[in-house]
């Protein structure tokens, strides 16, 4: 279940947060330093819309990439989004956390599946993983051009065509659902996955939206995961 914590302005998944794990999907209201404490190191990648995954360690300075994982008990790993899909991962048994950011490019490159493979390489078992898909632009608003539609139809030919939607003769894509289906394809079951049902562009009160607010990107939401 996805719950809004009004006091600190985050949405969080009850599948991830417990005595050991603390995570949140940011809103306009989120002030991360106040939430996690000023003495915690906050780590963020230079996001490049890739499928590059980085393991956090204390030698990391500014690195490029769009996925990150760690078993470090002190660092807060984060991604910034404003319409793109933030995804948070936790191996409840091996105590590993991860986070990734995927727009259309990362989704097409199957970054979320690569994150799961990364966990498997660390000897995680699929059954111990919990994943939360955060607020992103919905299929109500995510209009794509014909060329991009073609790319997705080829890459995800075996997926349900309900990830695409046509209204007013224009193609729309359900990014969040497409990432969900990628997780299902990796062997997770629906009980292990939480997702956020609203659209960042439609819900101006809570979220920044690149598609709504335009360039230059003024503000983004900070999404994070850390050990409690």
Taking CB under 5 A as the rule, which mask of x and - marks residues 121-140 in contact with Zn ion? -----------------x-x
Site for Zn ion in 27-66 (CB under 5 A): none
**What is the C-alpha separation between 1 and 142, in angstroms, rounded?**
24
**Residue with Cβ nearer Zn ion (71 or 143):** 143
Using CB under 5 A, which of the segments 20-28, 51-59, 167-175, 196-204 binds Zn ion?
A: 196-204
Give the total of residues touching Zn ion (CB under 5 A): 6
Beta carbon nearer to Zn ion, 42 or 202: 202
Contact between 202 and Zn ion by CB under 5 A: the answer reads: yes
Is residue 199 part of the contact set for Zn ion (CB under 5 A)? yes
Residues that bind Zn ion (CB under 5 A): 138, 140-141, 199, 201-202
């Amino acid at each position: 279940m996805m719950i809004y914590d009004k006091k600190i302005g985050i949405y969080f998944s009850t599948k991830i947060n417990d005595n050991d794990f603390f995570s949140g999907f940011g809103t306009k209201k989120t002030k991360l330093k106040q939430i996690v404490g000023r003495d915690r190191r906050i780590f963020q990648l230079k996001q490049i819309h890739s499928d590059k995954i980085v393991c956090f360690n204390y030698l990391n300075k500014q690195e490029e990439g769009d996925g990150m994982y760690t078993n470090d008990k002190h660092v807060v790993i984060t991604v910034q989004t404003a319409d793109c899909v933030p995804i948070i991962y936790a191996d409840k048994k091996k105590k590993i956390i991860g986070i990734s950011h995927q727009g259309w490019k990362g989704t097409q490159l199957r970054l979320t599946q690569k994150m799961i493979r990364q966990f498997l390489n660390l000897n995680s078992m699929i059954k111990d993983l919990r994943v939360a898909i955060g607020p992103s632009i919905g299929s109500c608003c995510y209009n794509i051009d014909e060329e991009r539609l073609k790319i997705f139809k080829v890459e995800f030919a075996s997926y349900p065509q309900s990830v695409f939607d046509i209204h007013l003769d224009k193609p729309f894509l359900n990014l969040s659902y497409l990432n969900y289906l990628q997780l299902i394809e990796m062997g997770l079951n629906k009980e292990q996955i939480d997702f956020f049902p609203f659209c960042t562009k439609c819900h101006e009160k809570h979220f920044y939206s690149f598609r709504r607010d335009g360039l230059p990107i003024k503000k983004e939401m900070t999404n994070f995961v850390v050990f409690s």
